Amino acid sequence: MKDRNQNESCEASGTDEKFMRQAIKQAKKAYALDETPIGCVIVHEGKVIGRGYNRRNTDKSPLAHAEITAIRKASRKIGDWRLEECTLYVTLEPCQMCAGAIIQARIPRVVVGCMNPKAGCAGSVLNLLHVERFNHQAELTTGVLEEECSGMMKQFFKELRARKKREKGKN
C-alpha cells in the first residue's frame, strides 16, 4: 500500500491505453455499420462495466452516442444513476449532450482519445466538464492513443467522401 502513490502515475498511462484500446474496439463496431467510429467504455474497479458505440444512423436517434449507451449500461450494472468512482474512456471528445450526461452521472474522470475542434465540449468549443458553478466537475485526460483515434476518423471520412463522389458520378 505504501508504494501506491508512487506507482500510480507511471501505471496510469498504461492503464489508460489499455482501456482506450477497448473503446477503440467499440468504435470499430460503429465503423462496421458505416457509422462515424466513436467508442466508449466505462471502468469501475479495474473492470469494464459499460460499453457503447455510435449508432446514430442505425438507430435513427440523436441520442445514440457511444457515451450515452455506455452510461446507461454502466448505471444498470451498478444499480445506481451515480457513477462515482468510475472512469469514462471515449475515442473522441464528448459533445455537449454527452459532457452533460457525464456531469449528471457524477463521473469523476474522463479520458479522451482525440479532440473534436468543431463540436467538442471538453475543451474545444466549451469545457462543460470544468464549469465551477455546476455541482460536479470531472478530471480530464486527453490525447490517449490520439493518433489511432483520429486516424480512424480520418479514414472513415476519407472513405465517405470517396463513396459520395462515386454515387454522384453514377447519377
| DSSP assignments along 59-88, one per residue | HT-TT--HHHHHHHHHHHHHTSS--TTEEE
- Per DSSP (E only), the strands in 54-123 are 86-92, 109-114
Chain center to CA of 87: 10
Q: How far is the CB of 105 from Zn ion (least distance, A)?
A: 13
Among residues 11, 17, 35, 67, the one annotated as catalytic is 67
Question: How far is the C-alpha of 39 from the C-alpha of 35, rounded, in Å?
Answer: 11
Nine-digit cell string for 85: 468512482
146 given a catalytic annotation? no
> Under the criterion CB under 5 A, does residue 98 sit at the interface with Zn ion?
yes
Q: How far is the CB of 72 from Zn ion (least distance, A)?
A: 13
Q: How far is the CB of 128 from Zn ion (least distance, A)?
A: 11
Stretch that binds Zn ion, among 64-72, 132-140, 152-160, 162-170 (CB under 5 A): 64-72
> Under the criterion CB under 5 A, does residue 65 sit at the interface with Zn ion?
yes
Active site residues: 67
